[in-house]
Amino acid sequence: MYLNPTQLSELRAKLETRYQSLLEEVRDELEHSENQQYVELLGRTPADIGDESVADALADLELKIIDRHIQEIRDIEAAKARIGDGSFGTCITCREDIGFERLLAYPTAKRCLPCQQQRERGYAHEPTPKL
């Protein structure tokens, strides 16, 4: 690993801060969710199919946000594990060092910028056909 102790400490602190923030956000969202929008919309009388549909969409959106936060928590845990085993900062594709600037911007990065760009090009979606 090419990162000096100060850089590694800075990245570790950044990961921990984001981790704690995400845990708090997920906790708050779960505590306050209880499908509050659903309850508010369906609490009105008379409830119609449109209200139910909007309430379902809001509940699904809230779950997607929580899923995204949980995925980021897992990425942070994986980054912490890589710090522990000494592989943090090494690209999983080419085994070269990931730049400190990239890690500072995106501490959970598993690939160097060139490998990540190549991966994104390889997995880019075809444009949506238009009528």
pLDDT at residue 27, as a whole number:
85
Q: Return the CATH number at 62.
A: 1.20.120.910
pLDDT of 54-112, one tens digit each? 656 666 677 788 889 999 999 999 999 999 999 999 999 999 999 999 999 999 999 99
Beta bridge partners of 97: 90
Whether 130 is covered by a domain: the verdict is no
Phi and psi dihedrals of 82, rounded to 5?
-65, -35
Q: Note whether 38 and 55 are within 8 A (CB).
A: yes
Q: Note whether 111 and 98 are within 8 A (CB).
A: yes
Locate 120 and state its tokens: 């994104």
Whole-prediction pTM value? 0.73
pLDDT at residue 128, as a whole number:
61
Whether 64 is covered by a domain: the verdict is yes
Looking at every residue in the chain, the average pLDDT score rounds to 82
Q: Please count the structural domains in the chain.
A: 1
For residue 26, the SS3 value is helix
The domain of 81 spans 5-122
Radius of gyration of the chain (CA): 21
CA distance 108 to 130: 37
**Band (52; pLDDT cuts 50, 70, 90):** low
